[in-house]
Amino acid sequence: QSCDAQQRGSRSRVCVSVLFLALSVHFSSSQTYVLDDKGGLGRLFDGIGGLSGGGATSRLLVNYAEPYRSQILDYLFKPNFGASLHILKVEIGGDAQTTDGTEPSHMHYENDENYFRGYEWWLMKEAKKRNPNITLIGLPWAFPAWVGRGKNWPYDYPDITASYVVNWILGAKQYHNLDIQYVGIWNERKYDIKYIKVLRNMLDKVGLSGVGIIAADGDWSIANSMISDHALNDCVEVIGAHYPGTTTVADALKTQKKLWSSEDYSTFNDEVGGGCWARILNQNYVNGNMTATISWNLVASYYEELPFGREGLMTAKEPWSGNYVVESPIWITAHTTQFTQPGWTYLRTVGHLAGGGSYVALTDGKGNLTVVIETMTHDHSVCIRPPLPPFHVTSQNATFQLNGSFASIKELQVWRSQFNFKTKTPSLFEKLKPLKLIDGSFTLNLSEDEVYTFTTMTTGQKGVYPDPPAPAGFPKAYKDDFNVRNPPFSEAPHFADQTGVFEYYINLTDPGPHTFTLRQVVTERPVTWVADADQTISVIGDYQWQNLTVTCDVFMESVDSGGVFIAARVNKGGESVRSANGVFFWVFADGTYKVTNDLAGQTVLAEGLSGTRAYGWNTLSLTVNGQLASGQLNGYPLWKNAVVLNPKNGWAAIGTRSFELAQFDNFAVVAD
């Protein structure tokens, strides 16, 4: 193979590498690694996946127009196209804040069941449409208040909690023809042995014996309990740990159960994030015998200023513009997913490279072989957690010798990613010339920060669509009258609930101008995962907005104690929502109003009489310009020139004084 003008400067290494591959040059200085199945095989491979939820991480995805929404889904799920994911894990919504927002429950109240709320049902169906063999998993982060029976704890009544979860699995099948293969316990919270046994028994009783339980979606500690409690051990199919740092513990290995990194990654999705993902995808098995790795999160489809912004396999946070970005983790995922399937088996001959990095090899047992090699350096593969101990990677020659049933392989397909951190010109998932083997052997010149796949599979493809539209800020003039007779989703576009749940509502008692509204429906504080606010709130818009006018019709449904607000410059959401500041214009059912600098309502900027009552519509308007704010009620000035020093910018928002029913209509915002 010739090297043309590319054979200059930093690019010469690329050509040299290709020459090594094409000619199968052997170096005496190479370390040799044997890939062999004669002594048996390793563990069964269960797949690589993404996590939607925990919470509301796919919130904005549903609002993309076609064809962009389908393109994003193809990059995630379509086989032999992009990430080609094997697993989709979703949150079982619990009406509570679970990182970047709330997801609605299928049972807000004990006598309530609705299996069309939210967007996880839709997402699972879209994934299944593209990959009928995809593994589906559900996991609760939080629970509606009634499950806890007055306590912020779901285990005092294990039959109630188990029934709630089982109903979700049954509903997935009955209403969406979705088969959930695994279910978790309670994300990253203390597990309860009695509850796990009750859940297993209930699943079996209703014909769901094929649904496996993953426990405990936290650390490895449940393994010790499983060793001493054989009944518990029989209930658990998979031990799932979060952010395990590629290592497991002896007790987990003793159980002989499947070991998964059931939540991992959670790292900003630039090239270092891609390096993190490349390293842990290999080393979760090499170091920890973990046979599945699931990324939190699937797609960063939430406002970037919320916690953990852009920590998905790709980014899709602008449905109003149509812009999305296929980030490096998509193509790093493809190095494994496009050339393996769940049910393949790891070889026992996997490990670390002498010069740093790692290699894994998998087979389908039918003669196919896939080898994935990574040489990610420490500083270019740091994940958000846990801390990464020092290690060193250097350029090296490596010879791979295929023995056993693989000795007769004559040719391997080659795919390569080079991050090229020095030149900042990454080359991701590039197909190279097939590699001819000599006596089952090939030698590579491996540089730092590379990923290679060598495979007998010929089906790989780097899928591509035309560039999406350019990024753009949220529209400066935006309005929504919520007049949607048959909404495809229960949430209004672009609203991101941060405490409480705001759903489309048909007001049959008011056939006039407010028949179709948005209604806050959570009436008790849920069994929470983080510290939800005491008020409900949904944010929308551009976090950089400074000067703006927010207008909305509001309707309180709690006599005397009711209260609602509109807000501007809201500066916090997600796990930090309790401490959100901004400009909040409240009216109450006792005939008063208040203007505060915080969601908690402690810093009062203005207050007085409003004459507002429950069960009557009022129009609120809030204008913030520089350091001054003013408000109108039903078209008339109610207060003006309240001094606002901070925050300088933030989202618009609507919400309620407490967990109470209230309606909103004719929302509008105009920003400078």
Q: Is-catalytic flag, 503?
A: no
Distance separating alpha carbons of residues 70 and 126, to the nearest angstrom: 9
Catalytic residue among 91, 120, 263, 311: 263
Q: Is-catalytic flag, 263?
A: yes
The tokens for 183 are 């279910």
Distance separating alpha carbons of residues 131 and 456, to the nearest angstrom: 22
Distance separating alpha carbons of residues 380 and 273, to the nearest angstrom: 8
**The 3-state secondary structure of 103-137, one letter per residue:** CCCCCCCCCCCCCCCCCHHHHHHHHHHHCCCCEEE
Q: How many residues does the chain have?
A: 672
Cα separation of the two ends of the chain: 59
User: Is the Cβ–Cβ distance between 555 and 666 less than 8 Å?
Assistant: no
Of all helices (H) and strands (E), which one includes residue 537?
strand 536-540
Determine the residue type at 102: T
Please tell me whether residue 174 adopts helix, strand or coil conformation. Answer: helix
Give the residue among 352, 376, 356, 462 at the shortest CA–CA distance from 415: 462
Catalytic residue among 113, 188, 524, 557: 188
Which residues 6+ apart lie within 8 Å of 415 measured at CB?
Answer: 334, 335, 339, 429, 430, 431, 432, 452, 453, 455, 460
Q: How many CB atoms lie within 10 A of CB 637?
A: 10
Counting beta carbons within 10 angstroms of the beta carbon of residue 239, is it exposed (0 to 12), middle (13 to 18) or buried (19 or more)? buried
> What's the DSSP call for residue 404?
G
DSSP secondary structure, 232-287, as one string: HHHH-SEEEEES-TT---HHHHHTT-EEEEEEEE----SHHHHHHHHHHHHHHHHT
Please tell me whether residue 48 adopts helix, strand or coil conformation. Answer: strand
Helices and strands: H and E segment counts in the chain: 11, 36
Distance separating alpha carbons of residues 370 and 364, to the nearest angstrom: 9
Distance separating alpha carbons of residues 631 and 595, to the nearest angstrom: 9
Distance separating alpha carbons of residues 369 and 243, to the nearest angstrom: 28
> What's the DSSP call for residue 102?
B
CA triple 31-33-36, angle to 5 deg? 165
User: Which residues on neighbouring strands pair with residue 548, listed in sequence order?
Assistant: 624, 671
Please tell me whether residue 370 adopts helix, strand or coil conformation. Answer: strand
User: Is the Cβ–Cβ distance between 37 and 449 less than 8 Å?
Assistant: no
Give the residue among 536, 76, 542 at the shortest CA–CA distance from 304: 542
Determine the residue type at 82: G
C-alpha 370, offset from chain centre = 28
Query: Which residue has tokens 């939800």?
Result: 532
**Which are the catalytic amino acids?**
188, 263
